[in-house]
Amino acid sequence: MITSRTISRGILRALATAILVGLLLFFIYKISTVLTYLVISIILTMIGQPISHFFKKRLKFNHILATTTTVFIFILLILGFILMFIPLISSQGQNLSLLNTAEIEKNIIELQNQITFFLDAHNIDSAKVLKEANLTSNINFTVIPNFLNGLLGTISSLGVGFGSVLFITFFFLKDRVLFLRGAKKLIPDSHEEQFLNSFEKINDLLSRYFIGLLFQLFIVFLLYLIVLVIFGIPNALIIAFLCAVLNIIPYVGPLIASILAAILTMLSHLGNDFQSEILPVTIYVLIGFWIVQLIDNNVSQPLIFSKSVSSHPLEIFLVILIAGFLFGILGMIFAVPLYTIIKVIGKEFFPEYKIIKLLTKDI
């Protein structure tokens, strides 16, 4: 029989649970920076394990020396990245008008006027449409500056936690076996083997995935750079870098990169004749970028997304699409790693289900 005391206890229990959940979420929010460092360290550890293994197996380094050398390589790469791109972004960003919103608006208005003149000259009555659309008032001119400043802020924040990330990464690499032993004590004996198998498979698949992703971005960066240099686009290095970074976002990123490259190409040629110089060069750059994306979509991405995580390309496409609808851009970025983790856990703990057997037959 339900009494007032039972109802009161239920309400108090629910209230206490809500308070505890709220406190937990607040605690997670307050330590979000630390959690970010941990995630970055885990990714670096996955990338670094094959490198460390190479030093130990091929060069006969002991464990400590192999770990130290791997972390030192990370330090050199990150420092090289910062020394190469931060001065470029700081010094050339102003030339690109990426940090000056007012200058962007002025240049966009000038570009719009040139497009209107070009259309009029070809008897296309769209100038009226452009004016009625009031294009300049509808464009958010802070998008590009905010994107660049956000990128700089992220790099700066990482710079603040540079030592923390590397310190954590060093001990993740060095004491991996020790951490596994500690985890084994917390796991029920009945599930110990399944947990260890899951950990090893996830670690192997994601290590290959992140290494492949870095290699893919580097290839895309080089190809973008070649296209921009061929057509004499100013500040080609920084534009290629920004567009390559956008490639982290599956499918949508390359489209945004093409639009960004087209806009920056036109802005960099302002003052020249639109029909004879600006428009042809922009079209050539777009064609070059689309060729790069064609190569990437048909060569790089299938090798990385399919081979590294043992999933069919259509399967990966659907997962990324669903994650994008549910969680937006961040969902698309983390869809493949999280899906891989779920598949491995499903194979180890629920192998009897037909859908699990079908999806994990290649793992």
Q: Please say if the pLDDT value at position 139 is more than 60.
A: no
Q: Is 330 helix (H, G, I), strand (E, B) or coil?
A: helix
Give this prediction's pTM: 0.69
Instruction: Return d(Cα 265, Cα 285) in angstroms, integer.
Output: 8
Q: Give the torsion sign (CA, 159, 161, 211, 326).
A: negative
Q: pLDDT, tens digit, for every residue of 41-84?
A: 888 888 888 888 889 888 888 989 999 999 999 888 877 766 66
Cα–Cα distance for residue pair 140/39, rounded to 1 Å: 33
What average pLDDT does this structure show over 166-181?
Answer: 84
pLDDT score of 149: 56
Assign 136 a pLDDT band (cuts: 50, 70, 90): very low
Q: How far is CA 221 from CA 81, 259, 289, in A?
A: 13, 16, 11
Name which residue leads in pLDDT, 114 or 89: 114
Q: Which of 5-9, 198-202, 252-256, 293-297 has the lowest mean pLDDT?
A: 5-9
Q: What is the pLDDT at residue 326?
A: 86
Give 2 or 178, the one with higher predicted confidence.
178
Cα–Cα distance measured from residue 210 to residue 44, given in angstroms and rounded to the nearest whole number = 9
Residue with more model confidence, 137 or 272:
272
To the nearest whole number, what is the mean pLDDT of the chain? 77
With a CB cutoff of 8 Å and minimum separation 6, the contacts of 187 are: 195
For residue 195, pLDDT over 60 is answered with yes
Which three-class secondary structure state does DSSP give residue 270? strand
Backbone angles phi, psi at 2, to 5 degrees: -85, 120
Distance CA 111, CA 119 (A): 12
55 is written with which tokens? 């030093």
**pLDDT higher than 60, residue 99:** no
Percent of the chain with pLDDT strictly greater than 90: 8
Sequence letter at residue 148: L
Q: What is the pLDDT of residues 222-242, one digit of tens each?
A: 999 999 999 888 878 888 888
